[in-house]
Structure 1
Amino acid sequence: MQRPEQPDKPQQTGIQSQVPPRTPPIASAKPPETPPLTDKAKPAKGELDPGNVTLYRNSRFFVHAVIPDKPPKEETHEAGNTSLLEQIRWLSAERQRITLIRTRLLPRIDLFNPSQRKTIVIPLWIEGLVVALALGLTLWAHALNMFNFPLYGPDEGAYMANAWALIHGNLQPYPYTYDHPPVGWMQIALWTLLTGGFFSFETAINSGRVMMLALSGGSALLLYLITRRLSGSRSASLLALAIFALSPLAITYQREVLLDNIGTFWLLLSIFFVVHGNSRLRNIIYSALALGIAILSQEVFIVFVPIMLYSVWLFATRFQRKFALVAFGYIVLSLSSAYALLAIMKGELFPPGILPGDTHAHPSLLGTLFRQAQYTQETGNFANSWETWMRLDLPFFIAGALSLVIHIIGGWWNRLQWLLALFVVSYWLMLLAIQNIFPFSILPILPLLTISIVMALNVPLRILSQRVGFDLARALLLFLLIGAIIPFNLQREEPQFSQNNAEPQRQALMWINRNVPQNSVLIINSYLYTDLHESGSMGAGNSSTYPRAHIYWNAAFDPEVHDTLLHNCWNNIDYLVIDTNMLNDIQSRGGPMLLLDRALHRSILRTEFNSTGNNTRARIQIYQVAHDPHSCT
């Protein structure tokens, strides 16, 4: 019996019969490979090459297709036998391709870059030369007669004394009272170490004023760079530099050794990193660190934290804003909290009697803040400071008020203008809210108001140049303003360049060194403290010091000096070095000041020093107490 023949397998037809054996099956989802063009199929020169074409193109990406001339190597695997490794490689490539497609579909990311297109091309070296000349003029104006005007202030002396105490292992010469964070005079102490000591420039305050000169130059440069970025105009930036650096307010108060000058530099550095940062994380971190140092240098700069957060939000890209705000806020909060952490670690956060078992007298952070909030107009007030500001630079404040109106209105269309207005308005509100205002309290707002003025002036000029096309005319107009402002301000600053108000204070130091025994108890103002306690000065000499020289405020209100050292007895005082403000406090305050008042009424005038201009505020009188052996018994 024959076995029946098996029927032949049907032959594959259609598309399946045309698939070469090396092609994987359709189930593997691998796209079929296109056979390469042969030499005969290549197009002639000038014709469209079908194997090398751009399929799609727009401003964000393009799709280009190429068929290689060299045919791919033959696969060794039969159809349907693709290895696991090849499938993994293909899946990885496909996943990457899908990711790239999704990335290309994202919306265009444009940074908030308010700088305008520059139609006048200026070589970088020319700009650098002009800026260097402008900074040179700034430093010259601030350095001219800076050791003689203004007279040495008590705040200057207090910060230099704190820096001296820090080098000797203490935060202050007397118990730390949390009046200010200590980072400000930490920087002053570092400066004195780098420059060879407190008396490299004759007196301790002179050394501090040289540091302020360096900070004023740095602040002026930062102001130029910030304005150049925001306005896109070099001429507008030079105008801002001229207004800020040559203002009578700046020439007067930027010379003084003040924490406000230190904090202003760090605030401008923080703004610089934001506007020039291009939304980079490292620049946001640098900006937060700079703002934290500004707050730890002078606590009033905490008022700028909300506005700086808004500036970070404004200059960061949309998908980075949340992370940038969190990073910026966390760093600023961490640095600022170090001030409170110091009080907590020393057990001086709350006043005595608040916590159980805390009964001994000690200074406290919250107690100091409460005391400062209760300050009256006897120490400083807004009305007197406002009168001083208007007398020194009335045109500056008129221009600043007009610029605020322009920015508040223009902010509806350009949020940058609201940012500028918020910087200025927030600080003005803080000055109005607190009681203890001094003329130098205007320092942090000077660069901010300058930027506001220049940006407000640049708005109509930019619109005019865009409509008419006279960008060169705009630059010439701004340079004409610079040429008018410089001689106008220099003419008003004749007293700052000629008066010698600090000479009586230096003469008093030399008289003490020649006539007063080293073991004497002296009651002085703070600007003499460091020179009398550190050897090598004109007051203490090369080897002698006056360890029993005490600041009059501490002699009256510090129990360690008033009760322990002086035993509340005027007869334990040997000399009083009196100036006008000190005399007014002794005669009007009463209370613990009565100790000094009794000593003054039992003293004889030994000598008196006056300034060349006969300025009564610069008068120094030195009294010697006539001791009574039967007093205070």
Structure 2
Amino acid sequence: MTAVLEVERSPVRAPAVVERRPSRWRHHRRSLLVLGPLLLVAGLVNGWNLHGWPGRINDDEGTYVNQAWAMLDHGGLSHYTYWYDHPFLGWAIIAGYAGLTDGFDRAPSAVMVGREVMLISALAGCALLFLLARRLRLNRGWAAVAVALFALSPLAVFFHRMVFLDNLATMFILAAMAAAASPRRSVGAALWSSIWFASATLCKETIVILLPALVWLLVRHTDKRTRKWNLGVFFVSFGVLVASYPVFALLKNELLPGEGHVSLSWALWWQLFGRSGSGSLLDPSSGTFSLAKSWTDLDPWLLLPGVLLIPAGLAVARLRPIGIALLIQVVMMCRGGYLPFAYVIALLPFAALLVAGAGDLLWSRGRTWRAAPVAAAVLAAVLVVPAWAATLYEQSKTDGSANSRAATRWVVDNVPRDAVVVTDDYIWMDLKLAGFTRPVWLWKVDTDPEVMAEVLPAGAASIDYVVMADQADSTLASLPTLKEGIAGATVVARFGEIVVRRVGA
């Protein structure tokens, strides 16, 4: 009798299994058919003229690439003394990529290796943004709109290309949010969310301000019966992973300040309180306002609509975590503290999601409400697309790094390899790769005791060449040895903004 029952039941179970698999495949196939072309376009737009534009406008690019090189070259965490300016996961990723691809031996300039990593990060961010949008119940069309805004805005392209830790941190925060919004609502989703968020924090510690938004998202996508377990796994895992950084400092006896060594606690104090503030976004005369204005001057069509839609995002339950994430970052700009140049990077995906989310919400309400997104689409076709296309076209023709590369080539061809050459952190790495033994990063001339004792024992008289753009008076005031060297130097070559000076000639 039992055997008969088993034979009778088996045909009932089998079709259900067979039916689910093609349905699930068709579901993902449709998403891949939408996402694939988007990633192709994003790769072309963000990768075209990757080396030439933007130009060499922020020394941090060179710094992070040089620190990655130090990991590969001699197992150090920095090309100079590592002083806990940031956790080192970000440039460890760059070092891993450079090691796997032989980057520093094949690239035309060292910073190009870092920019290749940023391109990969941007494409991964696009895929994760699409996944997050779908898990927030945006339809595929509006999820594609979010990705297009994030990938193709001239403001986004400008910052996606540059070697900033914020790009890697943003990629990881999107991964953390996508995991937190998993439809499985499982402990595993909470664990992966914590791992990705810890990775974001260990790339750029300031991303931790988005913790409330991530937790809100996790709570919303967690079953009440297992919520305590999920949150417990999240916070314990996140805490343990992030604690590895201070534990590392403790093991090196560099957690607390002391004579003769750097410390993590001093670096944190300096980051939070030691830097001069940029002023509040609410003050039109502040540096923060000027920086924010430069973002909107480059492209007003992504950031401003996203910020204006924050109230709408907070009012809609499924978009509330995104609204919170963007609101937190805008509020931080109003506090009057120091605002980093690359701060805008982490605002971009949330602005894109709010714009697309608002469109999805109105579209889903029926024919009457669809007039608003249709009007927005017409406005975009008339104003936004031509403006973006013109800007991106101009960017594709601009070689902003040509002068720096030409100056580097002149030094390589005309200066002895053992000369003391003070320069910026872009040229520094290329000179090291060319065999120069004593290039000096300009910020170390008067701030690094080891450099002052071993490379510049006679102060300015020890400098042979200075190769850099003209520095502001306020910068030179803080670097008296460099100022003295420039004052007594002779200009021997000029490549645009980059000036080659021979000291003591």
Normalising by the residue count of structure 2, what TM-score does the alignment of the two structures yield? Answer: 0.88
Q: Which has the higher contact order (CA 8 A, sep 6+)?
A: 2
Alignment partner, residue 107 of structure 1: none
Answer yes or no: is the 8 Å Cα contact 2:465–2:501 preserved in 1. Answer: yes
1:477 Cα shift?
7.8
Q: Distance in 2 between matches of 1:265 and 1:590?
A: 36
| Alignment partners' CA distance in 2, 1:237 and 1:324 | 27
Does residue 138 (structure 1) correspond to residue 42 (structure 2)? The answer is: yes
- What is the CA deviation profile of residues 344-392 of structure 1, one whole-angstrom value per residue up to 9, with x for unaligned ones? 111122222xxxxxxx222111211222222115899412211211211
Query: For the Cα contact (< 8 Å) 2:419–2:436, is it kept in 1?
Result: yes
Q: 1:439 aligns with which of 320, 323, 341?
A: 341
Q: How does 1:168-179 map to 2 (within 5 A)?
A: 168-179=74-85
Q: Determine whether 1:603 maps to 2:493.
A: no
Letter in 1 for 2:275: Y
Q: Determine if the alignment matches structure 1 residue 190 to structure 2 residue 92.
A: no
**Matched residue, 1:38:** none
CA-CA distance at 1:423 after TM superposition: 0.9
CA pair 588-557 structure 1, distance change in 2 beyond 3 A: same
Task: Give me the whole-angstrom Cα distance separating, in 2, the residues matched to 1:551 and 1:198.
Answer: 19
For 1:533-556, what per-residue CA distance to the aligned partner results, in whole angstroms no more than 9, with x for missing partners? 22xxxxx1xxxx112101010112
Matched, 1:156 2:61: yes
Q: Judge conservation of contact 1:421–1:452 (CA < 8 Å) in 2.
A: yes
Tell me which of 246, 260, 264 is aligned to 1:365: 264
Q: How does 1:244-323 map to 2 (within 5 A)?
A: 244-323=150-229
Structure 2: any 5+ residue segments left out of the alignment? 6-25, 280-285
- The equivalent position to 2:32 in structure 1, one of 120, 128, 148, is 128
Q: What whole-Å deviation, never above 9, does each CA across 1:466-519 have from its counterpart, x for those lacking one?
A: x89x8xx99988876775654442223343222211001111111111100011
- Larger deviation, residues 447-456 vs 557-566: 557-566
Alpha-carbon offset, residue 302 of structure 1: 1.0
Q: RMSD value over aligned CA atoms? A: 2.7
Moved more, 489-498 or 199-208: 489-498
2:242, 2:254 → 1: CA distance? 17
**Secondary structure at 1:531 match in 2:** helix
What amino acid is aligned across from residue 287 of structure 1 in structure 2?
Answer: S
For 1:194, the aligned partner's letter is L
Output the amino acid matched with 1:299.
E
The residue that corresponds to 2:388 in the other structure is 489
Give the counterpart letter for 2:453 in structure 1. Answer: D
For residue 577 of structure 1, report the CA deviation from its aligned partner: 0.5
Partner of 1:37: none
* Secondary structure class of the residue paired with 2:102: coil
| 484-493 or 521-530: bigger deviation | 484-493
Q: 2:106 aligns to what SS in structure 1?
A: coil
Deviation at 1:206, TM superposition (A): 0.9
Letter in 1 for 2:444: N
Aligned counterparts of 1:325 and 1:126: Cα–Cα separation in 2: 33
Shift in CA distance, 477/280, structure 1 to aligned 2, threshold 3 Å = farther
1:234 corresponds to 2:140: yes
Give the alignment partner of residue 362 of structure 2, picking from 460, 464, 482: 460
- Establish whether residue 204 from structure 1 lines up as the match of residue 110 from structure 2: yes
User: Is 1:625 aligned to residue 503 of structure 2?
Assistant: yes
Aligned counterpart for 1:532 among listed residues 418, 431, 434: 431
Structure 2 counterpart of 1:588: 474
Q: Which amino acid aligns with 1:602?
A: G
Separation (CA, whole Å) in 1 of partners of 2:387 and 2:30: 26
Q: Deviations over 1:380-425 (max 9, x none)?
A: 94122112112112232331133112123x24xx3x2322211111
Q: d(CA) in 1 for partners of 2:448 and 2:484?
A: 18
Pick from 547, 561, 582 the counterpart of residue 437 of structure 2.
Answer: 547
Q: Distance in 2 between matches of 1:453 and 1:568?
A: 59
Q: Which residue of 2 aligns with 1:498?
A: 397
Unaligned runs of 5+ in 1: 1-65, 70-121, 353-359, 535-539, 611-618, 628-633
AA aligned to 1:528 is: I
**Mapped partners of 2:387, 2:142: distance in 1:** 18
Q: Normalising by structure 1, what TM-score? A: 0.71
Q: Say whether the 8 Å CA contact 2:65–2:113 is kept in structure 1.
A: no
Distance, in Å, in 2 between the alignment partners of 1:426 and 1:378 is 18
Residue 434 of structure 1 deviates from its aligned partner by 5.9
- Tell me the residue number matched to 1:576: 466
Which has more radius of gyration? 1
Deviates most, 425-434 or 301-310: 425-434
Q: Given the alignment of the two structures, is residue 558 of structure 1 paired with residue 444 of structure 2, yes or no?
A: no
Aligned identity (percent) is: 25
Once residues 318 and 339 of structure 1 are traced to their aligned partners in structure 2, the CA distance between those partners, rounded to angstroms, is 33
For 2:481 and 2:374, the matched residues in 1 are separated by 65
* Cα distance change on mapping 1:389 and 1:406 into 2, 3 Å: same
Cα distance change of structure 1 residues 433 and 364 upon mapping to structure 2, 3 Å threshold = farther
Equivalences for 1:464-479 in 2 at 5 Å? 464-465=366-367
Whole-angstrom distance in 2 between the partners of 1:245 and 1:166: 31
Indicate how the Cα distance of structure 1 residues 243 and 514 shifts in structure 2: closer, same or farther if over 3 A, else same. Answer: same
